[in-house]
């Protein structure tokens, strides 16, 4: 499947980023390190450790590993209550995403037409929108393997692209670059964008939401995203299987 078949908009970049952060194997260079593939290989409760944010490469890799471990350790609970995926994303992944910077980038050229109060209201809603979007596509987890390119010098740089390749069995691999930005005050790196096969998450969100901001204003978009972020997480593949099973049973009957 080519990257274009994922489409642009909500699903496109969310699917790709979820494949990386829910990968079952993380590799640097040519070596892959298998992570646990079932909850039985982990303690009942995953212990969360702070990921090293002083290095952009270890930050991305560490966030990927830690998020998946939490995901794997709570598989049974997640199957019973898919909304727990939101908690995992919120607690394990979002601390390493500069959602405020991303939110302001999405507003883009319309920034001067917004008030401080409108922007303050938009940022936390945009954060929860990302949480919900990523949580939904975590339901697509299917043991993907991810190769991380070797670390390069980032001395003196404020923005670095961490290149990865998602290994797709029987399909073309997907090249993904995570763009991370250094906070000069805290000296910590955080992800703010990702580019999949040349398509930027922020660019697609700007195209998707920018015209609505221009036509109806930022408060309208804030309320729109607020409604979307409150939707329940659903295992769509499970629903399809259940429907297929029911049809087969009816035919056999």
Q: Mean pLDDT over all residues of the chain?
A: 77
The larger pLDDT score, comparing residue 137 to residue 189, is at: 189
| Residue pLDDT, tens place only, 157-173 | 999 999 988 787 888 88
Average of per-residue pLDDT across 32-50: 42
The residue written with tokens 């898919």 in the block is 82
pLDDT at residue 45 above 50? Answer: no
pLDDT at residue 43 above 70? Answer: no
pLDDT at residue 186 above 90? Answer: yes
194 — pLDDT class (breaks 50, 70, 90): confident
The residue written with tokens 């979307």 in the block is 228
Superfamily of domain 7-252: Tgt2/MlaC (3.10.450.710)
φ and ψ at 243, to 5 degrees? -65, -40
pLDDT at residue 248 above 70? Answer: no
The residue written with tokens 């003196």 in the block is 156
The model's pTM: 0.73
Domain range annotation of the chain: 7-252
Query: 159 with 191: CB under 8 angstroms?
Result: no
Burial of 57 (0-12, 13-18, 19+ CB in 10 A): buried
7 — pLDDT class (breaks 50, 70, 90): very low
pLDDT at residue 42 above 60? Answer: no
- As a whole-number percent, the residues of the chain with pLDDT over 90 amount to 47
pLDDT at residue 83 above 70? Answer: yes
């Amino acid at each position: 499947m080519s990257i274009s078949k994922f489409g642009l908009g909500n699903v496109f970049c969310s699917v790709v980023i979820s494949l990386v952060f829910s990968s079952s194997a993380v590799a640097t260079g040519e070596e892959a390190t298998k992570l646990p593939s079932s909850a039985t290989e982990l303690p009942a409760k995953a212990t969360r450790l702070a990921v090293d944010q002083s290095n952009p490469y270890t930050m991305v890799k560490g966030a990927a590993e830690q998020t998946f471990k939490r995901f794997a350790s709570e598989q049974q609970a997640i199957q019973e209550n898919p909304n727990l995926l939101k908690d995992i994303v919120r607690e394990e992944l979002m601390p390493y995403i500069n959602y405020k910077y991303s939110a302001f980038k999405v507003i883009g050229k319309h920034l001067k037409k917004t008030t401080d109060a409108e922007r303050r209201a938009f940022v936390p809603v945009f954060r929860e929108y990302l949480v919900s979007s990523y949580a939904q596509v975590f339901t697509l987890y299917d043991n993907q393997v991810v190769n991380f390119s070797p670390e390069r010098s980032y001395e003196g740089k404020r923005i670095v692209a961490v290149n990865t390749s998602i290994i797709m069995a029987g399909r073309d691999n997907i090249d993904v670059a995570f763009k991370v930005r250094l906070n000069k005050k805290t000296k910590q790196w955080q992800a703010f964008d990702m580019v999949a096969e040349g398509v930027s998450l922020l660019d697609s969100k700007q195209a998707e939401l920018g015209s609505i901001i221009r036509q109806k204003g930022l408060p309208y978009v804030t309320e729109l995203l607020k409604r979307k972020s409150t939707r329940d997480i659903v295992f769509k593949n499970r629903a399809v299987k259940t429907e297929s099973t029911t049809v087969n049973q009816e035919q056999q009957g």
